[in-house]
Structure 1
Amino acid sequence: MIASPPRTVRIGSRKSQLALVQTHWVRDQLQHHYPDRHFDISTMSTQGDKILDVALAKIGDKGLFTKELEVGMLNGDIDFAVHSLKDLPTNLPGGLILGCVTERENPADALVVHESHNDKQLDTLPEGAVVGTSSLRRLAQLRYHYPHLVFKDIRGNLNTRLQKLDDGGYDAIILAVAGLERLGMGDRVHQIIPAEISLHAVGQGALGIECRSSDPDILALLTAIEHRPTALRCYAERAFLRELEGGCQVPIGVNTAFDGDTLTLTGLVASLDGKRLVKDTLSAPSAEAESLGVQLAQSLRNQGAQEILDEILAEIQRDG
């Protein structure tokens, strides 16, 4: 009896250029490890892709860039979805899990400037310079350090944001280093913003692959591209965020680093006006990554973070 060929693996992706670059990279990596398997890519538009005239914080759904893909997995239309891990909520729908975390690219934020400011850095931009960002995390931290700058919301895919900058609508914008580099636009990084100024988003720079928890074939395939050090760092960051019950609409920043087997996690909660900022750092063995995230969240709560978070959520609900 001739064995039937292994099933075709169906990969889900958003339609944006960056999402497709990331998804094709995952497919190519898996094809290299499994040359006899066939991989297809299916694209979908998510709510976050469709609503471009409203600030992310005011839409109010933590699954803005993932929900449609998750429905596809639960319906059996696709086998797994490739996400920028920072877009993947920390609480996933029943039946779905984070099956794999790939090796992290540079997780830092980048300053990208209009050509008229090529001689400037963040700390030398003139008073009143307009800086674009759609992230409350970036907004709050930069307001704290640079209260003389003016911050303006900016939406759209990466190319759209760069065009708005180049057309003169902004003096500078803040983007992720990893996204620019993945699209071959690393030359647009004018300044890598140091962690002391802007802690990055949870999971930033890493890809997260979400799949059905009941699919051992897919889970086994994904082990080939799992990067364990990155996964441990991101598990700590996601546990920190989950414990604080924050999403894209809350200014929460993190940074993680390994020293041998010791994992160090720095976390931050900031007020929207940038006037209050609670920050702390804890370390633990890598095997305790998730409990480290929980402990750090509790530490920040004890230092006033919960009061800030409650005020932010009340403000967003009032404005929304």
Structure 2
Amino acid sequence: MSETTLLIGSRGSHLAKAMVREFLAPLRTAHPHITFKQRTIMTSGDKDRVSSLQALGKSLTSIFATQVEEALLRGEVDIAVHSLKDLPTTPTPRTFLAVTPVREDPRDALTGTPWEGLPAGARIATSSARRIAQLAHLRPDVTTVPIRGNVPPRLRTTREMGLHGCLLASSGLRRLGMGGEIGTDMDPDLYPPSPAQGVLGVQIREDDRHLADLLAPLHDPATHAAVTAERALLAELHGGCSVPVGALATVEGDRLRLVAQVTALDGTTAVRTTRTGPATDPVDLGKRSAIALLEQGAEHILSQIRDTK
């Protein structure tokens, strides 16, 4: 790294590049004397866009983040930009999450047919275990069809197959300028998204913590409190982004409200909780919410999922 150039690493998808552009816009304004260059890194998940996430037999972290993290640790890039939901709750050794930028829309979105207009037996595209489970819980008559790949090809395939819609992150569609594809933004109280959905994970090397000062203009305390609670819950449940745990925290004044749900893969069982706590202690709220879910039977659901892997 020179004094005037910083290399930003990310996946090579259109969405990952859009996320980096979003990340860099305020930095270039705040630091006009620094040259920021983007480097794309091909990940396992980008190379195989056909197999289902479950068939790949890896955690989503290893599929979508490992190669980017390795490039960061080798010094090939100075900052790694991820989707925070793809990163484990336990930091990779020698890395550090520098800042938490303001969150995009955290909700899931149904493209195509609006939710209220879905007919009996509708066919919906998604490969996410959480989305499949929650959809089966809310609408057991609906059939899910696995589709992988970048957002535009998924939408194209959904139309070509004559499906009623596709479930995706609203943030991804909006970042790609494709918000017009959204038929319904799903109610997070009924259909809580993945923990940290819509948030950028800005990762630096542990020994480069001075970069955190440079990145400070991007930090959003409200988003940080929310995702800290969500990820604390996920850590307490010993879950990851490939298990059907949904959670969304929102700041309401000086309080933090967290809604969370664990859903059986077949949708037959779901346990949920809604709790509040001081925004200054999001970790406690996340842990208490996880304990409440476990007391309702979440461990039985999660253990069954682990046994199938």
> Would the TM-score normalized by the shorter structure come out above 0.5?
yes
1:80 equivalent to 2:79? Answer: yes
Q: Give the corresponding residue for 2:97.
A: 98
Structure 2 CA distance, aligned partners of 1:9 and 1:255? Answer: 33
8 Å contact kept, 1:123–1:146:
no
CA deviations over 1:55-74 (Å, ceiling 9, x no partner):
21342223321101111111
Other-structure match for 1:14: 11
> 1:292, CA displacement in angstroms?
1.3
Partner of 2:304: 311
1:136 & 1:197 partners in 2: Cα distance? 16
Query: Secondary structure in 2 aligned to 1:190?
Result: strand
| Structure 2 match to 1:269 | 262
Name 2:153's counterpart in structure 1. 160
Are the counterparts in 2 of residues 155 and 161 from structure 1 also a CA contact under 8 Å?
yes
Aligned pairs for 1:54-203 within 5 A:
54-58=51-55, 59-61=57-59, 62-113=61-112, 117=113, 121-203=114-196
The AA in structure 2 aligned to 1:82 is V
What is residue 30 of structure 1 aligned with on the other side?
A: 27
Any idea what the Cα deviations from partners look like across 1:285-316, whole Å, max 9, x if unmatched?
Answer: 1111112111211111111000100001112x
Asked if 2 retains the 8 angstrom alpha-carbon contact of 1:110 and 1:174, the reply is: yes
Instruction: Give the structure 1 partner of residue 222 of structure 2.
Output: 229
Query: Is the CA contact 1:240–1:296 (under 8 Å) kept in the aligned structure 2?
Result: yes
Structure 2 counterpart of 1:286, which letter? A
Q: Is the 8 A contact 2:98 2:209 kept in 1?
A: no
Q: Deviations over 1:58-94 (max 9, x none)?
A: 4222332110111111111111111111222212211
Q: In structure 1, give the amino acid aligned to 2:54.
A: A
Please tell me the root mean square deviation across aligned C-alpha atoms, in Å: 1.4
Match of 1:290 among 283, 290, 294: 283
* SS across alignment from 2:251: strand
2:99–2:215 contact (8 Å) kept in structure 1: yes
Letter in 1 for 2:295: N
Which region of structure 1 is more displaced relative to structure 2, 141-150 or 5-14?
5-14
Measured in 1, the distance between the counterparts of 2:45 and 2:100 equals 22
TM-score (norm 1): 0.92
Report the counterpart of residue 259 of structure 1 in structure 2. 252
Which letter maps to 1:89?
P
Amino acid at match of 1:32: T
Question: Is the contact between residue 115 and residue 183 of structure 2 (CA under 8 Å) also seen in structure 1?
Answer: no
Give TM-score scaled by structure 2 length. 0.95
Q: Which runs of 5+ in 1 are unaligned?
A: none
Structure 1 position 169, deviation (Å):
4.5
Cα offset for 1:127?
2.1
- 3-state DSSP class of the match of 2:64? coil
Cα deviation, 1:187-217, whole Å, max 9, x if unaligned, reads 1011111123310111111111011121133
- Which residue of 49, 56, 69 maps to 1:52? 49
Cα distance in 2 for residues equivalent to 1:63 and 1:298: 27
